[in-house]
């Protein structure tokens, strides 16, 4: 970390940012939960890429509160233009991860808020309001589900692994659609789930519900919080060539180190 940012990224401030990320994700999650039980208004960003009024309302709540508390920080949120300043701190927000699920009334979605200092992940919160599950992490200090420390599973082989993935929104138009990877993994693993929320998929790797996750064509807000949560819980988190993951990369593989190599060899 550059000297000038030592103060702004001190352990005390990082803990403060982490607590605020948790608070905001829970508040926005409560808003999503209320909206989930009401009639939903849905529009299209692409043929199968949806946005609902809840995505917008959740983001408005989070960004409004962030701007009030930290007016100088950078903010990258999915549904609006990036707010760029000279601060070292950047908040990376997915106000509703799992919009397709939400729009169809399928109960698997969350709010995801990651915090970076000079481009490095320092804290993250992922909140699932329907299960009241808050996943969080602080870099170098660990990951939690609610107040309990979490760790990856003890699974050793792909044959015993429950895996998860997702498919890109351009799946109708492209051959680079993840289906060949899906086929290779399902032939060797115990099973695959397609949850529909990248942030929950990664958080579930962190707490041992899944053993391996991979996905292509993601955006920074999908992975900013939960890639840190998975890493802090002991997962190996890389791109498809095994190089360290960063949220600017579009592809991610995350899993239990013992079987990660075996799984990654099947992913292109
Ligand atoms: C999507 C979800 C989904 C993943 C997509 C993401 P959204 O985010 O995380 O699981 O497969 O690639 O874009 O659109 O619901 O915020
Ligand atoms: Ca998302
Ligand atoms: Ca979203």
Same domain as 216, residue 125: no
pLDDT in tens, 225-242: 999 999 999 999 999 999
Looking at the fold, whether 92 and 168 belong to one and the same domain comes out as: no
Pocket of ligand 1, beta carbon within 6 A: 94, 97-100, 166, 168, 196-198, 215, 218, 222
For ligand 1, atom 11, the nearest C-alpha belongs to 166
- Residues 81, 133, single domain; the answer is yes
> Atom 14, ligand 1: which residue's CA is nearest?
99
Answer yes or no: do 246 and 183 share one domain: yes
Average pLDDT over residues 97-125: 97
Q: Give yes or no: residues 35 and 107 share one domain.
A: yes
Please state whether the predicted TM-score (pTM) of the whole model is above 0.95.
Answer: yes
* CATH code of the domain containing 60: 3.30.540.10
Quote the pLDDT of residue 6: 64
Residues 81 and 188 in one domain: no
Same domain assignment for residues 86 and 19 = yes
Collapsed DSSP state (helix, strand, coil) of residue 235? coil
For residue 198, the domain's CATH number is 3.40.190.80
pLDDT tier at 3, thresholds 50, 70, 90: very low
Question: Domain containing 124: what range?
Answer: 3-149
Q: Ligand 1: distance of its center to the CA of 107 in Å?
A: 14
Are 9 and 114 in a shared domain? yes
Average pLDDT for residues 80-91, to the nearest whole number? 95
Domain count of the chain? Answer: 2
Query: Helices 53-69 and 11-36 meet at what angle, rounded to 10?
Result: 150
């Amino acid at each position: 970390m550059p000297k000038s940012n030592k103060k702004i990224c001190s352990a005390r401030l990082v803990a403060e940012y982490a607590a605020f990320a948790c608070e905001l994700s829970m508040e926005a999650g409560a808003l999503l939960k209320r909206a989930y039980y009401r009639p939903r208004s849905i529009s299209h960003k692409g043929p199968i890429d949806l946005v609902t009024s809840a995505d917008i309302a959740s983001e408005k709540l989070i960004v409004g509160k962030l701007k009030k508390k930290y007016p100088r920080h950078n903010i990258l949120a999915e549904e609006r233009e990036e707010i760029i300043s000279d601060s070292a701190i950047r908040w990376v927000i997915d106000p509703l991860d799992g919009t397709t699920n939400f729009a169809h009334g399928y109960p698997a979605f969350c709010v995801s808020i990651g915090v970076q200092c000079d481009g490095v992940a320092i804290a993250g919160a992922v909140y699932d309001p329907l299960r009241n599950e808050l996943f969080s992490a602080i870099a170098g200090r660990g990951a939690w589900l609610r107040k309990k420390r979490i760790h990856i599973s003890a699974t050793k082989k792909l044959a015993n692994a429950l895996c998860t993935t997702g498919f890109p929104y351009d799946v109708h138009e492209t051959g680079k659609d993840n289906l060949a990877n899906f086929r290779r993994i399902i032939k060797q693993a115990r099973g695959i789930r397609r949850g529909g929320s990248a942030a929950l998929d990664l958080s579930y790797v962190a707490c041992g519900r899944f053993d391996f996750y991979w996905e292509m064509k993601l955006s920074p807000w999908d992975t900013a919080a939960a890639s840190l949560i998975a890493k802090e819980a002991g997962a190996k988190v890389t791109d498809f060539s095994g190089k360290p993951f960063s949220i600017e990369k579009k592809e991610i593989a995350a899993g239990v180190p013992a079987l990660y190599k075996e799984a990654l060899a099947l992913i292109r």
